Amino acid sequence: MIRLVKVCKRLGGQNILRELTLHVERGEVFAIMGGSGTGKSVTLKHMVGLLEPDRGEVWIDGANLAVLNRAQLKGLRRRFGYLFQSGALINWLNVGDNVALPLREHTRLGRTDIQQRVAERLRWVRLIGDEHKMPAEISGGMKKRVGLARAIVLNPDIVLYDEPTSGLDPVTARAIRALIREVNDRLEATSVMVTHDILDATDTADRIGFLFDGRIEFVGTPAEVERTDNARVKNFLKGLDDQTSVAEAVPS
């Protein structure tokens, strides 16, 4: 469904992605884990064509993004939902209008149908009754849930999540994780999530990829991650840097 082949990207004088190769299967939830500033969000932005690779290819459902024209890319993007780290809500539109925006722009649905669809999606994210609140009046967790409702309002084939639980309290984070799984199953979508929280990955993902030094170093199911002998993965999960071995850092 999503294939990145030897993608290289240089930003701000630094090599962020170095021949990153990744394959996400249709219908799965794939988590990309890695430390801050390792290029997780950059990887996600390549998938939706917000960034173009310096070298390498990005394939979505058999289409190479590099050869698509503006109209084709626009058409492809309608199949995506994207949850930004901050929610990225349009600040002068209320919650209901934010969720309704893709419907108003891309469908011929009438006012009543739009209201029904918006109410349904807000019910999915447990925000029913908050339609008239402005983004400035709601908490960070609520913004993410509104962002999620907006991302899935057009029934996308692919949903991308950028740090869906960062900065949230444990209860809200758990609710968001449950929502991601639920949304993926209800819409029969393919989901990719970038996170540095192992709970996000193990609770939600079918497979987890670990991003180190601009490339995916290990991919496995949560069970395989738990059993892995990969030192870098083990160090990362224990909160150690690459130079410190597990044996040195963990007291016997």
Rounded to a whole number of angstroms, the distance between the first and last alpha carbons of the chain is 45
Which residue number, 44 or 237, has a Cβ lying nearer to other proteins? 44
Among 26, 74, 123, 126, binds other proteins (CB under 8 A): 74
By CB under 8 A, residue 77 contacts other proteins: yes
Q: Shortest approach of other proteins to residue 4 CB, angstroms?
A: 17
Number of residues that bind other proteins (CB under 8 A): 21
Q: Which of residues 200-239 bind other proteins (CB under 8 A)?
A: none
Which residue number, 47 or 237, has a Cβ lying nearer to other proteins? 47
Which residue number, 46 or 207, has a Cβ lying nearer to other proteins? 46
Which residue number, 145 or 150, has a Cβ lying nearer to other proteins? 150
Which residue number, 100 or 168, has a Cβ lying nearer to other proteins? 100
Name the residue among 18, 23, 29 with its Cα closest to residue 47: 23
Which residue number, 31 or 159, has a Cβ lying nearer to other proteins? 159
Whether the Cβ atoms of residue 82 and residue 147 lie closer than 8 Å to each other: no
Which residue number, 150 or 207, has a Cβ lying nearer to other proteins? 150
Q: Shortest approach of other proteins to residue 78 CB, angstroms?
A: 5
- Residue spans of beta strands (DSSP E) within the chain: 2-11, 14-24, 29-33, 55-60, 63-64, 80-83, 158-162, 190-195, 207-212, 215-220
Q: Which of residues 83-122 bind other proteins (CB under 8 A)?
A: 84-86, 88-91, 101-102, 105-106
Measured between alpha carbons, how far is 231 from 212 in angstroms, rounded to an integer? 12
Q: Shortest approach of other proteins to residue 153 CB, angstroms?
A: 10
Tokens read off for 192: 């990719």
By CB under 8 A, residue 123 contacts other proteins: no
Q: Which of residues 32-61 bind other proteins (CB under 8 A)?
A: 45, 48, 50
Name the residue among 164, 234, 229, 228 with its Cα closest to residue 193: 164
Strand partners, 215: 212
Which 8-state DSSP code applies to residue 67?
G
Count helices and strands in the chain by DSSP H and E runs: 10, 10
Measured between alpha carbons, how far is 40 from 244 in angstroms, rounded to an integer? 23
Measured between alpha carbons, how far is 85 from 147 in angstroms, rounded to an integer? 9
By CB under 8 A, residue 161 contacts other proteins: no
Q: Which residues contact other proteins by CB under 8 A? A: 45, 48, 50, 74-75, 77-78, 80, 82, 84-86, 88-91, 101-102, 105-106, 150
